[in-house]
Amino acid sequence: MYTSYFGFKESPFNLTPDPRYLFLSPHHREALDHLLYGINERKGFIAITGGIGTGKTTLCRALLEQLDKSTKSALVFNSFINEKELLEIINQEFGINLDQEVQTKKQHIDRLNQYLLETFSGGGNAVLLIDEAQNLSGTVLEQIRMLSNLETEKEKLIQIVLVGQSELKELLASASLRQLNERIMVRYELRPLAHKDIQGYVEHRLVVAGGRGNLRFTKGAFKAIYSYSQGNPRRINAVCDRALLIAYTKETYTISKGMVGSAIREIRGDIAAERGIKGWPWKKAASSITLFLLLIIVAGFAGWSFREHILGFFSDNQKMAVETTKDAQSMALTTKKPAATIFLDEKTSLAGLFNLYNDKTKKDRNYVNEQNVGMISFYLKPKHFLRFKKPFRLLLTHISVSESPNSFSVGTDSNLISSARYLLIRKVVADGVIAVDADGKEREVSRDFFKNYGEQKVTWVYPYEGKRVDLIKGMRTPTVLRVQKALKKLGYLLELSGVYDNATFRCVTKFQNYFGLSPDGIVGPRTRAFLYQVSD
């Protein structure tokens, strides 16, 4: 939403692992050097570990771009797989042609070994990179260890990089994986950014996104960002993205400490933000109290010095004050404040949409929120968006002034309709929707109002995981189980197995077809956004 306002070509703080945005802090540079050393020197096994959101996946993407053409690579992102699925994915990633006769694990290994020997004889190297390796089962890790036996008398034919969270170290240290652990020759623990690197990280992303240099973060803003994020790149991205949105709504090019504080409160909740942001020490509170007491003392001395004038003033004007009060009360009874408009402009409706999302999240989940938040828009018919269970924003392409007052429970100022065309919907009810007006008050809008409208642009906010993994037939993951539960609550007939089977595929395609999505059976970001929006 704010990219064009600030002059960006794209959003600078997306959570996708784009290698262009990799900021080579001392820790990230060392990690990349370890990876290149282990691969080029054919060390066999390499392990890179780090906390959630420290940039491991982005580092892997950057690594692949730095490998020369003679080095073949296979990238495995789905770690919830068995041994045979692992071998199938590896062969597919290396581009090995497999016919229908290749069915067993031995046949897959034989084809892989043949490919590696051909690559080695041509002077090349091969790299297998497995992300989220902490989720691999013990049997799959043992299969990976066996792959390292594919070697010549002097050289390893394949270099295997295990990338995972800090739990991977504990997993490898277990007694059952001692043989694998002893084969790892290169290790590195990726750490968060230091405080001095925060400014460089933020400005690097602004430049890559095409910034014109007109956007500025204050020193206090950088301090607040570090205090909240503790140098974690994913958290930095989340708070900076929200801070830019706040700056956009306020039409300013300076990101202040206060804006960062507001962004953190929207992400984590008021209490967490107040504890998380340093720089609001007790001295400020003490100084405020001291100033307040001084003002009271000064006011007291001033009142005593001018007591005669003050008493005289009240005495001479007591009668007039009484009459004025009566007139004001009379006017209050006869004058009624006009109702605020229910049609909002873009910025007001956008800020309101995020506030509604935060309120809904706090209510439903006690606001323990470490998820990423995205926004998505579709052109939908009323029959579709009137099934939504979460807040959303509706852009009306045309508004008939004559019909609008009759459609709302409270009158609307029709003079504002021409410039403001958004409805901010808190929830859908039996008789229509509950909208939020310019004063933040709830207003009922009947279903009849939407009868004259076709497809309208509908926008909503939804949470998503940092790593995008599309769900396809044959997968077995906890995410598949969550999708199955959501579909079953909507009335679809399927078993809660956690396996993306044929029944799940049919239900997903029916769901996609109903809402106008491509019925490909793949549960990607769009399908997940709709599932979130229509689920309780």
The 8-class DSSP code of residue 393 comes to E
**pLDDT value of residue 183:** 93
- In the structure, what pLDDT confidence band is assigned to residue 272 with cuts at 50, 70 and 90? very low
- Residue 237 confidence (pLDDT) above 90: yes
166: which 2 tokens? 């800090």
**pLDDT value of residue 366:** 43
**pLDDT value of residue 332:** 47
Q: Which residue has the tokens 């309780």?
A: 536
- Residue 369 confidence (pLDDT) above 50: no
**pLDDT value of residue 405:** 39
- In the structure, what pLDDT confidence band is assigned to residue 454 with cuts at 50, 70 and 90? confident
Higher pLDDT, 362 or 130: 130
Q: Which of 46-55, 96-105, 267-276 is the most confident on average?
A: 46-55
- Residue 359 confidence (pLDDT) above 90: no
- Residue 171 confidence (pLDDT) above 60: yes
Question: How far is residue 295 CA from its own chain's centroid?
Answer: 46
Q: Dihedrals φ, ψ of 301, to 5°? A: -60, -40
**pLDDT value of residue 187:** 94
- Residue 319 confidence (pLDDT) above 70: no
123: which 2 tokens? 């002077």
Alpha-helix residue ranges (DSSP H) falling in 51-129 = 56-66, 83-94, 105-121
**pLDDT value of residue 357:** 85
Mean pLDDT over each residue of the chain, to the nearest integer: 82
Instruction: Supply the pTM of this predicted model.
Output: 0.56
**pLDDT value of residue 275:** 44
66: which 2 tokens? 């730095």
CB atoms closer than 10 angstroms to residue 484: 23
Q: Dihedrals φ, ψ of 408, to 5°? A: -115, 150
Do residues 159 and 44 make contact, with C-beta atoms less than 8 angstroms apart? yes
Do residues 241 and 279 make contact, with C-beta atoms less than 8 angstroms apart? no
- Residue 392, SS3? strand
CB atoms closer than 10 angstroms to residue 27: 21
Query: 251: Cβ–Cβ under 8 A, 6 or more apart, which residues?
Result: none
Pairing of strands 184-190, 45-50: parallel
pLDDT digits (tens, 9 = 90+) for 56-93: 999 999 998 889 889 999 999 888 888 888 999 999 99
**pLDDT value of residue 224:** 95
Do residues 251 and 348 make contact, with C-beta atoms less than 8 angstroms apart? no
Set out the domains of the chain in order of their start, with CATH numbers: 24-190 (3.40.50.300), 194-268 (1.10.8), 343-399+420-463 (3.90.70.10), 475-535 (1.10.101.10)
**pLDDT value of residue 179:** 92
3-state helix, strand, coil in the chain (%, to 5): 50, 15, 35
- Residue 28 confidence (pLDDT) above 90: yes
- Residue 434, SS3? strand
CB atoms closer than 10 angstroms to residue 216: 13
**pLDDT value of residue 308:** 56
Higher pLDDT, 262 or 338: 262
- Residue 523 confidence (pLDDT) above 70: yes
Distance separating alpha carbons of residues 37 and 175, to the nearest angstrom: 28
- 71: β partners: 125
**pLDDT value of residue 299:** 59
Q: Which of 152-166, 352-366, 463-477 is the most confident on average?
A: 152-166
**pLDDT value of residue 530:** 92
pLDDT digits (tens, 9 = 90+) for 471-519: 888 888 888 998 999 998 888 888 898 899 999 999 999 999 888 888 8
